[in-house]
Amino acid sequence: MFRRIGTTVVRHPVWTIVAWLIAAVAIVATAPSLPSNSDESSFLPKSYESIKAAELQQRAFPSAFTPSAIALYQRTDGGRLTAEDKLDVARITTQLGKKHIDQVQKVVPGQPSKDGRYDLTLVQMDSKNAGQPKQADAAKVLREDVKALAKGTHLDVRLGGSAAQALDQQDSSKRGQALIGIGTFVIILVTLLIIFRAPILAVLPLVLIGLVSAIANGLIAYATKLFDLQANSSISSILIVVLFGVGTDYFLFLMFRYRERLRAGDEPKQAMVNAVARVGEAIASAAGAVVIAFLALALSTLGFLKQMGPALAIAVAATLVAGLTLIPAVVSLIGPKVFWPSKSWQREPDNARFAALGRGVQRRPALTAVASGLVLIALTLGTFGYKATFDLASGSMPKTKESMVVQDEMQKAYSAGAAAPTDVYLSSTDGKPLDRNGFPAYASKLGAVDGVANARMSQVSRDGTTADFTVTLKYEASTDKAIGAVGRVRDTAHADAPDGTEALVGGMSSIYKDINTAVNHDYRTVFPVAAALIMVILGLLLRSVVAPWYLIASVGLGFGATLGATVWIFQEGQGHSGLMFMLPVIMYLFVVAIGTDYNILMIARLREEAREGRDPREAAGMALRHAGPTVAAAGFILAATFATMMLAGNALLTEMGFAVSFGIAVAAFVMAMFFTPSLTALIGHAAWWPGHGDRAEPAADAGSGSPGSDPAAGQGRDSVAHDPAGRRR
């Protein structure tokens, strides 16, 4: 199949390129805009308690609200607010409400701090559009207006709250995307220049993958709208890295094999056909593993991951099609001039380092397997210290952003949980009004829960069937302590609810508690499903039942090593309270799926060497010698491009960038180069049971090439002669 694809594309390169250009113009011109949502509650299904509580609040207390924006006032000299300052705060609050800013429904005064140094203005926005870009736009107007109204006073005012956080996150994301994009381009350009010493080859993948990126983004926008998925601004940054990182990987897989075929004496166009025929299956299998693993995210209960999975799957699928059609078409049109001005493509390099590594694996496979395995196990021990943090807002932007400064200041000035109180809604189950005589005792029991600062009955619905008890925790809403405390609040609220009533606990800590539950569900569902599907891909590629088991086990060990190293560096080394809650899921899929690419490339080459008559140990050594440079180059570029995410300046992308780049480095330089070849050499022919994938193939008839081709080119099978030392010539 892949030979037919290569032949068709190489025979009609111009039409292939034109088809891609037409598709790009049509998709980009008609694709809808990609929405963005930063509202954590939108990530959860409606079956969770925190979402049920939010819906009950809207029905029972339509006038009540959790502020979308909070203006925090303090004197410029840091002193206590004077009577004149308080009058200025009241004036600003009134005038801000009269401006009738889009999305703003109510502007009311807040409570001054106990030390008298701070005061608040609370802003309600349309809850139906929570987390949408239009509310970030409203926050921008609010921020400008409140600062303008405070001019000429002794007040310093800053705007925080969820809408302001969305605005700052949006700005931070744009800066991060720019840095990531520039960093990715520079790394790919410089690395390819060093590898090939050919400017055309260095620039070509950036241009071609840029075209693929435009198409992929359009297709993602279509899918997001069609299936009503949630979007998040962090996905754009991840997409840049996935498209250019994975795209460059497939480009390298193809170009290394194309260069090898030219060195073997193939005519240029036939060299590309043979390259696609040989490496096409490995590329398709690698991309298939990535696509399937990403699609497994559709099983997630979190909207953010549900959207990310299909988006990344579409991106990789588009890159795969480009790798098998667009790239071969363009390169075959240019021919060997693509390597200009370098002449090194004309001769086989010694690959001395990789040859030495190959000999080492060939001679001592057991020692190699044990040594590399111990390194992975040692790093995996760090996973026992893993903790999750759920503050997506502060994790996605620097602490210096205005909304983050407001959040930190409010934690100091008020109770840590005051900025996002927990609400317990007590409702009658029979439709009768609640007995108010029991309210003080119920509030007292809620207030006695460990981790609660205070609890009070704040309001009752008009029909008397629902009461709202405001519970202020001692801890900031997204911390582990707050999540633990809200769990205890739930237990007490449910257990001590009077007969004939039902209690629901809402608020941000309750949402984070449910997100934690959802993530744990995803660990139990997404991980094994993704692993099983990747094993199916490996089984189909290798026609083996044995090999997929130890391959997926080695990649799983690489995941453990990556998570352990990330815990040690960020939690132990930098003192982070925890890693972002979705990091293990994302890391698992990137490290397991993309890391499998290198295992697939190495094991496919090992099988190829075995089919040429080599015993298992010799095949492993030769596979490392000849596929090692490709794995090293591709692994370095992909790891380095993911590392550019650390330039974004926020905890989420910094942790993600390090974890994925480290995991890919482990996959390429430990698993694919040492662990997998040495294990395969030790297992021997049994690795290919029940098939016989490593059996030597009968010599192909020289005349079995495609019609009209030169039989000397070896189109039927691109066999390569070897001297007695095993060196290709």
- 416 versus 728: which is more confidently predicted? 416
The stretch 463-489 carries a mean pLDDT of 89
CA distance 528 to 589: 11
Share of the chain above pLDDT 70, in %: 87
pLDDT band at residue 714, thresholds of 50, 70 and 90? very low
Structural domains of the chain, ranges and CATH numbers in brackets: 2-30+167-341+354-393+513-694 (1.20.1640.10), 68-160 (3.30.70.1430), 414-510 (3.30.70.1320)
The stretch 702-716 carries a mean pLDDT of 38
Q: 65-79, 207-221, 389-403, 577-591 — which is least confidently predicted?
A: 389-403
Q: Is 226 exposed, middle or buried (0-12, 13-18, 19+ CB in 10 A)?
A: exposed
Strand locations in 373-436, DSSP E?
388-389, 422-428
Residue 72, pLDDT above cutoff 90: yes
pLDDT band at residue 391, thresholds of 50, 70 and 90? low
The stretch 661-678 carries a mean pLDDT of 91
CA distance 550 to 589: 18
The separation between CA 177 and the C-alpha centre of its own chain, rounded to angstroms, equals: 14
460 sits in which H/E element: strand 452-460
Gyration radius of the chain over CA positions: 30
- Give the orientation angle of helix 268-295 with respect to helix 508-542, to 10 degrees: 140
Residue 348, pLDDT above cutoff 70: no
Residue 160, pLDDT above cutoff 80: yes
pLDDT band at residue 130, thresholds of 50, 70 and 90? confident
Residue 707 · residue 716 · CB < 8 Å: no
Query: Exposure string (b/e) for 112-125, b if CB count within 10 Å is 16 or more?
Result: bbeeebbbbbbbbb
Q: Which two tokens stand for residue 285?
A: 């299998």
pLDDT in tens, 162-171: 888 888 877 7
The separation between CA 45 and the C-alpha centre of its own chain, rounded to angstroms, equals: 21
- pLDDT value, residue 696: 60
CA distance 66 to 468: 13
Sign, CA dihedral 413-415-421-426, equals: negative
- pLDDT value, residue 524: 86
Query: Cα 109–113–119 angle (5° rounding)?
Result: 35
pLDDT in tens, 459-470: 999 999 999 999
Q: Which of 34, 152, 145 is nearest to 84 (CA)?
A: 152
Q: Which of 78, 81, 77, 79 is nearest to 92 (CA)?
A: 81
Tokens 């600003």 — which residue? 92
Q: Are strands 466-473 and 119-125 parallel, antiparallel or unpaired?
A: unpaired
- pLDDT value, residue 144: 93
The stretch 280-304 carries a mean pLDDT of 84
pLDDT band at residue 36, thresholds of 50, 70 and 90? low
pLDDT in tens, 532-547: 888 888 888 788 888 8
Residue 720, pLDDT above cutoff 50: no
Q: What is the mean pLDDT of the chain?
A: 83
- pLDDT value, residue 16: 94
- pLDDT value, residue 135: 85
Query: Cα 35–38–41 angle (5° rounding)?
Result: 115
CA distance 227 to 239: 19
The separation between CA 246 and the C-alpha centre of its own chain, rounded to angstroms, equals: 14
Residue 710, pLDDT above cutoff 50: no
The stretch 108-135 carries a mean pLDDT of 85
CA distance 254 to 262: 12
- pLDDT value, residue 703: 38
- pLDDT value, residue 726: 38
Q: Which of 609, 73, 60, 105 is nearest to 358 (CA)?
A: 609
pLDDT band at residue 53, thresholds of 50, 70 and 90? very high
CA distance 573 to 121: 39
Residue 53 · residue 69 · CB < 8 Å: no
- pLDDT value, residue 536: 87
Residue 706, pLDDT above cutoff 60: no
pLDDT band at residue 35, thresholds of 50, 70 and 90? low
- pLDDT value, residue 702: 37
pLDDT band at residue 494, thresholds of 50, 70 and 90? very high
